[in-house]
């Protein structure tokens, strides 16, 4: 298990993963807004009353940068963004962070894409199969119900549990639960998934279905708990060599502090590792040869699985897996000006094929999905 990774390697591999899974670098969005004079608001005052853990602070800083460049997500135009504290041409931070976020969509697809991107990054960096642990803490209704169950649990078992756990439960039942888990005395601790509201249960089931349909390995972890008022619904962690390297969750309530004009659905994760050296100065990336657009759940699921095939052969391709609107996907294709367009709808997904269109001649070729990545190399 590597304890430290060169900054340049972290940056390059995060950039590649982001490209194939449809995450735009925050730095690219920032460049587009550069030069415009505008007031930069400070951190929302309400955050001072919240107890943010290190992950919460990292995500709050990311949201502040989004707010500064006036990028506001919405259901029609969600934002899938990756971000890092590694600055090309500068010495690495002692603790490097790489973040993947989906803003503006409540679909379980967003969580699934982030988890797949983290799995790909972890595999690349540590050359081993990561462990994905996942749980759901539910919405506000669920968390309130679960907090009462935890309170009753610690009261009933006060004579058998460590005194520090019982004392902690009087002030914060979630913190007490984490403490009991760490002390390995919580085998019969109530599970949050047993108290999910109907909406939260449906959302969790949708995510598990996405993971299973895309053959994404995971394990249910009833002992994985998110506490604090900023997290909701799904929470997950990525382990490599038995050590947590990434943690993520839904954070709708935190996002609302930065985008108060309308409720914002948001999910994200932070990968962290010690770093060294520096990344090379920014270089201009060549125009991507292929843009992949897809319509419908069947095509989205296949596109998640195909991303690894494209990465393996280093195909000059990008896609926007999390964006459901075909119109918005095509707008992005126009801005990238890729020579080739790869198209998959429900019909193609069920038939195991995709349509390759030459954007200059409008000539179309239907290609089977088996061996697709290798076939596309011949057009590159």
Q: What tokens appear for 229 in the block?
A: 């008022």
Q: Are 78 and 102 in contact (CB under 8 A)?
A: yes
Q: Is the predicted pLDDT of residue 283 greater than 70, yes or no?
A: no
Question: What's the predicted TM-score (pTM) here?
Answer: 0.92
Tell me the Ramachandran region of residue 278: left when phi exceeds 0, alpha when psi lies from -120 to 50, beta otherwise: beta
**Confidence band (pLDDT; 50, 70, 90) for 230?**
confident
The sign of the dihedral angle between the CA atoms of 263, 44, 268, 104 is positive
Q: Tell me what the pLDDT averaged over the chain comes to.
A: 89
Q: Assign 376 a pLDDT band (cuts: 50, 70, 90).
A: very high
Domains and CATH numbers, the chain: 4-137+197-276 (3.30.930.10), 140-193 (no CATH), 290-377 (3.40.50.800)
158: Cβ contacts below 8 Å, ≥ 6 apart: 166
Summarised one tens digit per residue, pLDDT across range 188-207 is: 888 889 989 999 999 999 99
Biggest distance spanned by C-alpha atoms of the chain: 77
Q: Average pLDDT of 249-265?
A: 87
Quick: pLDDT tens for 5-16: 999 999 999 999
């Amino acid at each position: 298990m590597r304890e430290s990774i060169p900054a340049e390697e972290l940056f390059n591999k995060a950039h590649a993963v982001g490209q194939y899974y449809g995450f735009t670098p925050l730095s690219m969005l920032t460049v587009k807004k550069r030069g415009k004079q505008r007031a930069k608001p400070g951190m929302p005052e309400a955050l001072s009353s919240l107890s943010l853990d290190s992950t919460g602070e990292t995500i709050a800083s990311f949201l502040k940068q989004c707010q500064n460049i006036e990028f506001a997500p919405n259901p029609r135009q969600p934002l899938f963004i990756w971000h890092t504290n590694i600055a090309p041409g500068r010495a690495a931070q002692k603790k490097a962070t790489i973040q993947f976020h989906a803003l503006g969509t409540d679909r379980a697809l967003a969580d699934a894409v982030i988890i797949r991107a983290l799995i790909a990054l972890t595999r690349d960096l540590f050359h081993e199969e990561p462990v994905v642990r996942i749980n759901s803490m539910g919405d506000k209704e669920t968390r309130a119900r679960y907090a009462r169950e935890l309170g009753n649990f610690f009261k009933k078992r006060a004579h058998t549990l460590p005194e520090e756990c019982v004392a902690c439960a009087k002030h914060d039942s979630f913190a007490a639960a984490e403490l009991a888990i760490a002390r390995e005395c919580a085998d019969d601790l109530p599970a949050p998934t047993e108290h999910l509201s109907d909406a939260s249960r449906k959302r969790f089931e949708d995510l598990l279905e996405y993971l299973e349909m895309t053959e994404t390995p995971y394990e249910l972890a009833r002992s994985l708990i998110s506490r604090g008022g900023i997290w909701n619904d799904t929470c997950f962690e990525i382990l490599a060599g038995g050590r947590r390297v990434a943690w993520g969750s839904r954070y709708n309530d935190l996002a609302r502090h930065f985008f108060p004009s309308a409720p914002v659905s948001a999910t994200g994760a932070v990968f962290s590792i010690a770093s060294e050296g520096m990344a090379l100065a920014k270089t201009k990336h060549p125009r991507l040869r292929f843009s992949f657009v897809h319509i419908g759940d069947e095509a989205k699921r296949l596109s998640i699985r195909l991303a690894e095939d494209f990465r393996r052969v280093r195909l000059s391709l990008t896609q926007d897996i999390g964006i459901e609107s075909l119109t918005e996907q095509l707008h992005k294709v126009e801005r990238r000006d890729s020579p080739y367009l790869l198209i998959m709808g429900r019909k193609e997904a069920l038939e195991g094929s995709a349509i390759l269109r030459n954007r200059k001649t409008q000539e179309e070729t239907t290609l089977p999905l088996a061996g697709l990545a290798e076939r596309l190399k011949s057009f590159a």
